[in-house]
Amino acid sequence: MESYLASQLMSHTCPICYELMKGENRAPVLVFPCGHTFCSCCLTKYCGGHKTNQVGQQKTCPCCRTEITSSAINHSLRQLIESFLQSRVHLLEGKQACDPPTDSVPSTSAFGNIHEYNDQLSSLQMRIDILENEKLDAERQLCTAQKKASAFQRAYSSLEKEENEAIEQLEQAKQQLELVRKHLNDTDTKKQEALLAVDSAKSKIHLVGSSMDNLQNQFDKITLLLEAKQSG
């Protein structure tokens, strides 16, 4: 009977952590639609939650990689495990009451039968499958990350090239701007000189005009005097 209870309890351990699915922290959680069961602690770590009809970011079963649509506490299995635990406690209490005390090492034959080993192998194989799936996930994530990194590197190199070209064009534009400014200053200086020359010429014309007017007046006076004398 003890061997049977031990084998049954071994068959209801979480395939991820090997812990018996009991208590609030390790309650058995059934995932749909594949029907695999994991303890709530591991499923929370792996999937981000175990509320009914709600799953986390990881939406595939840790065992078979089927997409998880919902999950719920496996109350039937939970009651079964609690029943096995109570039966085992009662069995051990009865055995301790019946068996005489002894200092010899307890027999492990009840835990070393073929059925128990098969259960352990099944659990180990399931754990291996889960780890292989996690490795595949990590490899796919690595591949995706490497592709993104390569794409960003190409984009960065392209932008860096454009930046260098823009800097070079900016330097050329600065040089061109300096040249235009120099020509502008030279032209402005020559324009000011030309304006001064215009003002000077205007002043000279005005002065010469005034002088010519004075001379013309004198010429006219002398002409009149000369005509008057000739007439007299």
Q: Which residues contact 31 (CB under 8 A, 6 or more apart)?
A: 37, 38, 43, 55, 61, 68, 70, 71
- Whole-model pTM: value is 0.40
Q: Strands 37-39 and 28-32, how do they pair? A: antiparallel
pLDDT of residue 91: 52
Tens of pLDDT along 174-199? 999 999 999 999 999 999 999 999 99
**Better-predicted residue by pLDDT, 161 or 231:** 161
Q: What's the average model confidence in pLDDT over 80-96?
A: 63
Three-state SS annotation for 119-168: HHHHHHHHHHHHHHHHHHHHHHHHHHHHHHHHHHHHHHHHHHHHHHHHHH
> Which burial class, exposed, middle or buried, applies to 31 when counting CB atoms under 10 A from its CB (0-12, 13-18, 19+)?
buried
Token pair for 190: 């020559």
Enumerate domains of the chain plus CATH numbers: 1-47+59-73 (3.30.40.10)
Quick one: which H or E segment has residue 41?
A: helix 40-47
